[in-house]
């Protein structure tokens, strides 16, 4: 979800659910340590609970970045071991680290020693030929011994040579049974399932086997599915927010960000899917896509788009 779940996206998604845990896009240790951490780690207090997702492979660097994340107020620090892109591999982090459990264990130990907030790991079920359940179990068990108690497991292996990141999200088969078995064999761990879940009905069914479900692209492209998360998953009795109500809730934030120098398009690009699947969705997207990038565009663009849906 790099370049997707930025702070504007997360603020928008928080208007749909008060309780779901939001994750940042992956931030590399080199970016945090050699750029402006205040800019990269900025977020609105309304985003809580929110986790900082890190990419890196050096224990000392990950420890320092975890400290920065805790200092800036993040509720969890997550180590990404799932991304299979060539750029990530060339930086020696992401999914390729599944082949180096001792290095990852050292990273986890350094991170958990550095901060008081929880440290989690996002991983695949395997990488290339190392794709047996036994390998997954040994890998997760080793990281648990190093101090990690929460694992977000993408139920596909990563194929590092020959498949693009997009193909790695669909071609390797889903092996949910690996994730279920992991929870059975290591019941003391929090096991979150990721991959292939596109509805709350599916998510609820998965919760019979695991502790939680992570949803990525489906939640981004069809965000309103999150509107019922609080009621169905977290037993929150608050009224279901309406799409128009969510737009109205975004307006004060948008005004504030525009006054701070942000361009409207950087916020509205995350809102394009709000009316997905209902009459007027195309008009909403067209208005925002056409007028949102204009110089000086303001809330009048959003209000006109909302009127076009009605």
Domain boundaries defined on the chain: 7-232, 243-309
Q: Per 3-state DSSP, what percentage of the chain is helix, strand, and coil (rounded to 5)?
A: 50, 10, 40
Question: Can you give 149-191 as a three-state secondary structure string?
Answer: CEEEEECCCECCCCCCHHHHCCCCCCCHHHHHHHHHHCCCCEE
Q: Is the pTM above the cut of 0.85?
A: yes
Q: Is the pLDDT of residue 103 over 70?
A: yes
Q: Domain 7-232 sits in which CATH superfamily?
A: Aldolase class I (3.20.20.70)
At 21 the three-state DSSP class reads coil
When pLDDT is averaged across residues 248-252 and rounded to a whole number, the result is 98
Q: Which of 143-147, 220-224, 229-233, 293-297 bottoms out in mean pLDDT, i.e. has the lowest?
A: 293-297
Which candidate in 20, 83, 96, 148 is catalytic?
Answer: 83
Segment 40-67, tens digit of pLDDT: 999 999 999 999 999 999 999 999 999 9
Is residue 89 over pLDDT 80? Answer: no
162: left (phi over 0), alpha (psi -120 to 50) or beta: left
Average pLDDT over residues 69-75: 98
Residue 178: the pLDDT is 98
Q: CA-CA distances (angstroms) from residue 132 to 135, 179, 302?
A: 5, 12, 50
Dihedral angle computed from the Cα positions of residues 27, 30, 33 and 39, in that order, rounded to the nearest 10 degrees: -40
Peptide bond into 49 cis (omega under 30): yes
CA of 66: how far to CAs of 14, 32, 50, 137, 201, in Å? 23, 10, 14, 26, 35
Average pLDDT over residues 202-208: 97
Q: Is the pLDDT reported for residue 91 higher than 70?
A: no
Q: For residues 245-257, give the mean pLDDT.
A: 97
**Confidence band, pLDDT 50/70/90 cuts, at residue 72:** very high
Q: Quick one: pLDDT band at residue 169, thresholds 50, 70, 90?
A: confident
Which pLDDT band holds residue 88 (cuts at 50, 70, 90)?
low
Beta strands, E only, the chain: 22-23, 27-28, 50-55, 76-81, 119-124, 150-154, 190-194, 212-214
**Mean pLDDT, residues 172-198 taken together:** 97
Q: In the 8-state DSSP scheme, what is residue 130? A: B
Residue 83 is among the residues annotated as catalytic for this protein: yes
């Amino acid at each position: 979800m790099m370049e997707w779940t930025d702070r504007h996206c997360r603020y928008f998604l928080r208007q749909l659910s008060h309780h779901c845990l939001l994750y940042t896009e992956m931030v590399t240790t080199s970016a945090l340590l050699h750029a402006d951490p205040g800019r990269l780690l900025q977020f609105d207090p309304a985003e809580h609970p929110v986790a900082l997702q890190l990419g890196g492979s050096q224990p000392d660097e990950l420890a320092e970045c975890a400290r920065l994340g805790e200092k800036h107020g993040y509720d969890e620090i997550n180590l990404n071991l799932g991304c299979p892109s060539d750029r990530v591999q060339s930086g020696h982090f992401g999914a390729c680290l599944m082949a180096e459990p001792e290095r990852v264990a050292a990273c986890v130990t350094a991170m958990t020693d550095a901060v008081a907030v929880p440290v989690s790991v996002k991983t695949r079920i395997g990488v290339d030929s190392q794709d047996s359940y036994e390998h997954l179990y040994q890998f997760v068990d080793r990281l648990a011994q190093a101090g990690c108690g929460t694992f977000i497991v993408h139920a596909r292996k990563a194929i590092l040579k020959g498949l693009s990141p997009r193909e790695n999200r669909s071609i390797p088969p889903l092996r949910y049974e690996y994730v279920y078995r992991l929870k059975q064999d290591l019941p003391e761990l929090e096991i979150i399932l990721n991959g292939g879940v596109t509805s709350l009905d599916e998510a609820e069914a998965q919760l019979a086997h695991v502790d939680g479900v992570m949803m990525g692209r489906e939640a981004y492209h069809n965000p309103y599915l999150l509107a019922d998360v609080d009621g169905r998953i977290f037993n929150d009795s608050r009224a279901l927010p309406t799409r128009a109500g969510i737009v109205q809730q975004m307006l004060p934030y948008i005004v504030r960000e525009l006054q701070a120098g942000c361009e409207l398009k950087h916020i509205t690009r995350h809102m394009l899917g709000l009316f997905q699947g209902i009459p007027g969705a195309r008009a909403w997207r067209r208005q925002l896509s056409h007028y949102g990038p204009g110089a000086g565009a303001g809330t009048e663009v959003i209000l006109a788009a909302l009127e076009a849906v009605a």
